[in-house]
Each structure stands twice: as C-alpha cells, then as structure tokens.
Amino acid sequence: MDFNKIKELDAKNYLTVFNRLNVCFVRGEGNKLYDSTGKEYVDFMGGVAVNCLGYNHPGLVAAISGQAARLIHISNIFYNEPQAVLCEKLVENTIFDRVMLVNSGAEANEAAIKLARKYFFNKGEKRSTILCAENSFHGRTLATVTATGQSKYSAPYAPLPGGFKHAPYNDFEALKAAMTDDVGALMLECIQGESGVVPAVYDYLVNAYALCKSRGALMILDEVQTGTGRTGKMFCFEHFGIQPDIVTLAKGLGAGFPIGAVLARGEAAAAFKPGDHGSTFGGNPLACAAANVVMDELLNTDLLTRIERNGRYLNARLSKLKKHNFVADVRGTGLLQALALSDKLKNAEVAGKMLHRGFVINACGNNTLRFAPPYTITKDEIDALADSLADLFANTNI
C-alpha cells in the first residue's frame, strides 16, 4: 500500500493518541529496520525496550510459527504446555515462588497492586496504600496511571482511584517519612525509564528494602523495562543484592509478542485464591512460545554477558560526547542508556535528525535520548551510531 494512503487511513480512523514520525516500517532483519521506501535503519529503540532479540530471529520465528500452526489460544480454565514450561523457567531460575501471566506491563502492575492489597486483606490489616515515587511510570490504566508519579499523565482522568501516594525518588529521608502505618507496599523502579533513564542510587534502594522489611511492608519492583536481561542481569534488582516480594515484567519477555508477568515470593505468593484475579488472553500458548525462546537465550547462552559488555561500550562511546556543552549527562545500566541534553538542544530535534541519518532512537522525558537496542546489537553498530551523533553534534551551532 502507498505510504500516503496508509497515513490517510490512520488520520481518518485512529484515535489521536500518538504523534507518529513520518516513517512506515515494513520489515526487519537482525538489528535493522526497513521502511516502505527500502531505506535501512539501525534500531537503538527496540520498540521501546521490547524487541530484545532483534528482527527475524530464527528461533523466535520458528517457535511462533510452529505454535500458531498448533494452537494460538485457549482459556486459562484449561492447562497449556508452553505456559507450564515458561512458568517453570521463571520460578526455578529466580528467587520467586509463583508467577501469573498477563498481556502487558500495565496489567502486570495492576496485578501486583491487587496482590499486595489482597495480602493485607487476608491478614485483616488496613494497609491498602501503595507508596510510589515521584516521576515514576507504571502504566496507562486508571490505577497504574495513579501510581505513576507524573500528574501530566493522570490529571485529565480525575477522579482517580484512592490509596496511592508519592515521595521523591532517590530521597530516602522523604521515603521514610512517607512510610506511614497505612502503607502496605512500596512500588519502585530500579531505573526510572520514561522520565529519562534515572537509576536508583544504591543506598536509596537498599535502604528502601530494609525499611520495607522493618515496617512489614511489601516491596514491589516494576521491572517492566529493566527485567529479562536489559541491564545485564535477569533482573535489575540483582545489582543491589535485594530480594523484593513482588516483581513485574513485560516488554522484553516476549521479544515483541505481547506478554507480561507478575512474580511473587514468600507469603505474598499465596495471597491470591481462585477467582481473585484472572486474564482472558494472559499466558496463551502463542505468547508463551515466544517468551520461552527469550528465557532460553538468557539462560542457555552468553547473552547476559554480551548485554553487560556492549552496554558498557555504548556508555563509553556516548560519554565521549560530553565534551559538547549541550550534553548534560550520560547514564544507564546495560543496554538501557541515556544521553541527557541541556535546554540548548531539544531531544526530539536530535532524534528526528538521527532518524534521517538511519538510526532509530527515542526521545523521552526531561529532554533525554533513550537507547534500548536489541540485545544482539554489535560494537560496529554502536560505533556507527556514536560516530553519526558526534558528526551531528560537531555541526550543531549552539
């Protein structure tokens, strides 16, 4: 179909919730995307930290194709083998005792909130408040947008659900003051991705974990963006040596196929009873077939080592750009990196120019460029990106 016709249909029919860029991608191969004109792009956005195995990965394609030919969906009233296999991998290779599968990160966070509240309901304790961080992002549903600590996402949808409050991120004293007796769970990101890839300070997250333990509160970590290998470990919290009660996953878990998960340990894992929660599509055979490939790659190859190594390399190459006065900071862990710009240069402008040069990068919160490429990204591709940014910045008159 002609690109202009595609845009015409989109403008006519789709709710206006996206500001789309003027490109239509039609296929991918490896770490590259190709648009409707045949132009090639190196992908450093990964569908916003989703397409972790790149494009046309042979194992992923075979698993999805094979499962689609056998069975795509059944109700969770029945057992299905790919789901059982995936849950075994998620439990046996982590600290968690139970898992529930859903379709997205927002759904995983909804389930985590419900699980925490059900835990205290079972105990007969009135501790329904979920304490979250300012500038966080947890999803677009009414509950998760309320948990999100950014009023620009939630204010238009008032009245919002009750039982949520916020404290400044990376400020332990403020967090401690906010941990009142009604707080049943603390919900944090190890790295605040949407607000500009802002990592938790080590002492802040470790002390927050200890605070939860001392107050009898549950710790929920939203690893929708950082989980399943993105930071060079299966979970980002492993960098901190802590053991949260509940963790949420999505994005990279299905390598492009929609799937999310909430994992729980200890008493929290036993809070739900039959009928307390559910999902029509969550954990269907096709989604689980995709996720099983991702887990196998993480568990049975050197992929995590390569993520850690190439993440350090990407950070080092980006850090060389700090010589420009409009580059404020370079930060991140593994293959989730960010280049923060000063007000002198807008991130969307840079992302647009880099798209024209054949690189897909993401402009996110606080005037930041976010880099979340496939885990299969190569050093040569990182060099090409960094060289192109260096050339662009050298010819930027500010």
Query: Which are the catalytic amino acids?
Result: 137, 222, 251
- Residue 102 is classified by DSSP as E
Least Cα distance to 362 among 32, 42, 44, 59 occurs for 44
d(CA 32, CA 114): 39
Angle at 182 between CA 111 and CA 186, to 5 degrees: 45
Phi-psi bin for 179: left (phi > 0), alpha (psi -120 to 50), beta? beta
d(CA 375, CA 238): 18
Contacts of 17 (CB under 8 A, 6+ apart): none
β-strand partners of 99: 263
- SS3 annotation, 67-98: HHHHCCCCCCCCCCHHHHHHHHHHHHCCCCCE
- Residue 368 is classified by DSSP as E
Rg (alpha carbons) of the chain, rounded to whole number: 21
- Residue 55 is classified by DSSP as B
Residue 329, amino acid = D
Least Cα distance to 247 among 202, 194, 185, 300 occurs for 185
d(CA 257, CA 188): 25
d(CA 46, CA 255): 9
